[in-house]
């Protein structure tokens, strides 16, 4: 589109936002953009409509059709309301839970959402203040609601906010409801169709009582009570990174029996500007810097963090030299699942009807452990809604032990249906105490896992390709990998190719193709080599990125081999990156 045509388009759209139905604050913000000689903000705010995708909304806050604001949130909620009344037409009363995080405008958006639901005759349970995303999922199930919404942009930068939609099982929405909701949201063509006039009689405020029920259920996950009693004074540094975990996570740790929780006072302050970090993401080492400094000051045993909506977990442990090192997402899954499988076996709780879940891009070493423990493992697509879908399908048939993904999310329970750092941090502290009782620190325990089941090292790389040309480049890359897949990866023959778009698995050696049993298709390619090397390629569904997930294997004959095997793995990863041009 030529610049003049684009400018006319955004100007015409902006002028609509100066009309009746939009408040004075919006009028002022739009007028400022229209009167600015630099049209950048105007174009960015109006060149398209913020899309309600399969996960909901996420975007920069501000006035405009491409921004998170009262009206885009309102249209999403009105469309959602319209669909709920169709999907649950047989119910006398439809009810939903609404929660929010600490971000700027999150409470405002949550109250708008609650008001619109109520204006549509839907009963709303609105949390009194910010709460972790997993507690909202818990509340849907606990209260027997049909749906829920959490206002959060997870660990995105402070300029962002988001809107995540959930179904009656407490999980994020999947087919067919996701596309049906999108259709109804897209049918909302004007602000006049949004019912903003709340019905207070339909809104119930919830809080402390739900907290107590949630924490009580989480406590039932503990498997090592005697060990915790013995090591109750384990030094645990915890930071919520200004987010929603600041109350419930320390409370849960105390509930488990831990008495020495060390805070990072500056980061205990809820603040949507996240003033002490560049990014409030526990995957990023810099986000853990203040907590690590506190750990060094106090000689702590373990450092843990949650992201702003308290669904992701960050973990830092001491290595053999006493230095604090960030545990990556794959290692977090290994530690959790190895403990849950091993401890259940020790306690005689395994009946042969248990299972775990991981995503397809998460380390294959988890399957090795599950096979050794004779526990069924299911692979699913990236995203916790797919883990929740497996739990839903197997409800009442098999017992769920745990599941997670490499992007620092874990779920140890089935009474929540999204990743949960409240339970995860409590269990990770228990694991640290369990290891200590065996005379090990967490790093030594991780090495023991590698010694017993085989060494694995993973790395994730994201290539950012912005704009129209970037999107075309990503499409071309995926097409090239499909048409001309690599025959070898750093000298190792590719033996298996999995294409989750066609759901075909190719056995390169046998020259055969078989269909894969998955609930949907996804634009993911995977290449497996006989030596255990695995490369996954996946365009991001929400960002202008193409992601590569690399995994290489090694063998340790003794604990003393770790450094050499780790160094060899780093060389392999570097060679793969060079081969793929990443």
**CATH topology agreement for domains 48-206 and 456-580:** no
Give domain limits for the chain.
1-40, 48-206, 214-453, 456-580
Query: What does the angle CA 397 – CA 136 – CA 398 come to, to the nearest 5 degrees?
Result: 10
Going by the DSSP 8-state scheme, the letter that residue 254 receives in this structure is: H
Question: Residue 180: is its pLDDT beyond 60?
Answer: yes
Distances (CA, A) of 396 to 173, 290, 392, 412, 414: 21, 44, 9, 17, 11
Q: 147-151 and 534-539: which strand pairing? A: unpaired
Average pLDDT over residues 250-258: 98
What pLDDT shows up at residue 54? 77
Show Cβ contacts of residue 431 under 8 Å, excluding neighbours closer than 6 positions. 335, 336, 339, 442, 445
The active-site residue, picked from 45, 154, 421, 426, is: 154
* Pairing label, strands 236-239, 302-306: parallel
Distance CA 548, CA 538 (A): 7
Output the pLDDT for position 395.
96
Q: Give the Cα separation of 243 and 272 in Å (integer).
A: 8
Over the stretch 452-504, which tens digit does the pLDDT of each residue have? 999 999 999 999 888 777 888 999 999 999 999 999 999 999 999 999 999 99
d(CA 69, CA 109): 8
Asked if pLDDT for residue 172 goes beyond 90, the answer is yes
Evaluate whether 237 touches 304 at the Cβ level (below 8 Å). yes
pLDDT the model gives residue 1? 45
Q: What proportion of the chain, given as a percentage, has pLDDT over 90?
A: 93
* Mean of all residue pLDDT scores within the chain: 96
Q: What is the mean predicted confidence (pLDDT) over 510-519?
A: 96
Query: What are the residues facing 305 on neighbouring strands?
Result: 239, 314
What average pLDDT does this structure show over 497-520? 96
Between the CA of residue 372 and those of 285, 377, 433, what are the distances in Å?
Answer: 33, 11, 24
Compute φ and ψ for 100, nearest 5 degrees.
-160, 165
Nearest partner of 131 among 196, 70, 201, 205, judged by Cα:
205
Q: Return d(Cα 272, Cα 106) in angstroms, integer.
A: 9
Kindly write down the DSSP assignment for every residue of 446-477, as one continuous string: HHHHHHHH-EEEEEEEEEE--HHHHHHHHHHH
Task: Say if residue 3's pLDDT is above 90.
Answer: no
Q: Give the pLDDT mean for 65-89.
A: 97
556 pLDDT above the threshold of 90? yes
462 is catalytic: no
Q: Tokens representing 266?
A: 């500056």
Residue 554 is predicted with a pLDDT of 96
The pLDDT value given to residue 542: 62
**Torsion region of 329: left, alpha or beta (phi above 0 gives left; psi -120 to 50 gives alpha):** alpha
Question: Which tokens go with 72?
Answer: 């885009």
Q: Predicted confidence band at 2 (pLDDT cuts at 50, 70, 90)?
A: low
Strand boundaries in 319-454, DSSP class E? 324-326, 354-359, 376-380, 399-405, 409-411
214-453 topology per CATH = Alpha-D-Glucose-1,6-Bisphosphate; Chain A, domain 3 (3.40.120)
Residue pLDDT, tens place only, 388-441: 999 999 999 999 999 999 999 999 999 999 999 999 999 999 999 999 999 999
Q: What average pLDDT score do residues 164-168 get?
A: 97
Tens digits of residue pLDDT in 115-147: 999 999 999 999 999 999 999 999 999 999 999
Query: Any idea which fold 456-580 has?
Result: TATA-Binding Protein (3.30.310)
Specify the CATH superfamily of domain 48-206. Alpha-D-Glucose-1,6-Bisphosphate, subunit A, domain 3 (3.40.120.10)
Among all chains, which residue has been given the structure tokens 């639901």? 117
Structure tokens given for 2: 């030529």
Give the single-character DSSP code of 328: P
Q: 128 with 135: CB under 8 angstroms?
A: no
Percent of all residues in the chain with a pLDDT value above 70, rounded to a whole number: 99
CA distance 108 to 114: 10
Mean pLDDT score, 351-369: 97
Question: So what's the pLDDT on residue 465?
Answer: 87
Helix (H) / strand (E) containing 221: none
Q: For 153-162, what is each residue's pLDDT tens digit?
A: 998 899 999 9
> Do residues 158 and 104 touch, judged by C-beta distance below 8 A?
yes
Q: In the numeric block, which tokens belong to residue 25?
A: 């604050």
């Amino acid at each position: 589109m030529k610049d003049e045509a684009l400018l006319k388009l955004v100007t015409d759209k902006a002028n609509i936002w100066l009309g009746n139905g939009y408040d004075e604050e919006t009028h002022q913000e739009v007028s400022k953009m229209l009167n600015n000689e630099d049209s950048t903000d105007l174009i960015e705010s109006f060149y398209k409509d913020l899309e309600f995708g399969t996960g909901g909304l996420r975007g920069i806050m501000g006035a405009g059709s491409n921004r998170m604001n009262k009206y885009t949130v309102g249209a999403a909620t009105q469309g959602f309301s319209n669909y709920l009344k169709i999907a649950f037409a047989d119910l006398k009363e439809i009810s939903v839970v609404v929660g929010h995080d600490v971000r700027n405008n999150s409470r405002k958006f949550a109250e708008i959402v609650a008001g619109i639901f109520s204006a549509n005759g839907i009963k709303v349970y609105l949390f009194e203040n910010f709460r972790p995303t997993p507690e909202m999922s818990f509340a849907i199930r606990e209260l027997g609601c049909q749906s829920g919404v959490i206002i959060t942009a997870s660990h995105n930068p402070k300029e962002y906010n988001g809107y995540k939609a959930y179904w009656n099982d407490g999980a994020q929405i999947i087919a067919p409801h996701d596309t049906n909701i999108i259709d109804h949201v897209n049918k909302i063509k004007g602000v006049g169709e949004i019912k903003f006039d709340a019905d207070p009689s339909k809104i119930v405020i919830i809080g402390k009582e739900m907290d107590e029920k949630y924490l009580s259920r989480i406590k039932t996950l503990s498997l090592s009570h005697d060990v915790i009693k013995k090591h109750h004074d384990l030094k645990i540094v915890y930071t919520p990174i200004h987010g929603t975990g600041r109350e419930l996570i320390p409370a849960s740790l105390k509930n488990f029996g831990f008495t020495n929780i060390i805070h990072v006072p500056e980061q205990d302050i809820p603040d949507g500007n996240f003033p002490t970090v560049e990014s409030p993401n526990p995957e990023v080492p810099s986000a853990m810097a203040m907590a690590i400094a506190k750990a060094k000051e106090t000689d702590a045993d373990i450092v843990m963090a949650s992201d702003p909506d308290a669904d992701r977990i960050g973990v830092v442990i001491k290595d053999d030299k006493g230095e604090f090192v960030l545990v990556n997402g794959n290692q977090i899954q290994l530690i959790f699942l190895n403990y849950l499988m091993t401890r259940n076996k020790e306690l005689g709780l395994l009946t042969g009807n248990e299972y775990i879940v991981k995503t397809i891009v998460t380390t294959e070493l988890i399957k090795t452990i599950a096979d050794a423990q004779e526990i069924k493992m299911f692979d699913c697509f990236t995203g916790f809604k797919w883990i929740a879908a497996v739990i839903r399908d197997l409800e009442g048939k098999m017992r769920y032990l745990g599941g997670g993904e490499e992007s620092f999310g874990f779920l140890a329970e089935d009474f929540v249906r999204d990743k949960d750092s409240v339970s995860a941090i409590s269990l990770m502290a228990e694991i640290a105490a369990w290891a200590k009782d065996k005379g090990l620190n967490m790093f030594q325990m991780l090495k023991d896992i590698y010694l017993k089941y085989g060494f694995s090292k993973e790395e994730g790389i994201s290539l950012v390709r912005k704009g129209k040309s970037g999107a075309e480049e990503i499409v071309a890359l995926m097409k090239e990998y499909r048409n001309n897949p690599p025959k070898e990866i750093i000298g190792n023959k590719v033996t298996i190719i999995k294409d989750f778009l066609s759901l075909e698995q190719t056995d390169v050696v046998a020259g055969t193709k078989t269909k894969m049993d998955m609930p949907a298709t996804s634009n993911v390619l995977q290449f497996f080599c006989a030596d255990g090397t695995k490369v996954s390629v996946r365009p991001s569904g929400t960002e202008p990125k193409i992601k590569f997930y690399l995994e290489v294997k090694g063998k340790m004959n003794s604990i003393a081999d770790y450094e050499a095997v780790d160094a060899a793995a780093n060389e392999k990863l570097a060679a793969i990156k060079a081969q793929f041009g990443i």
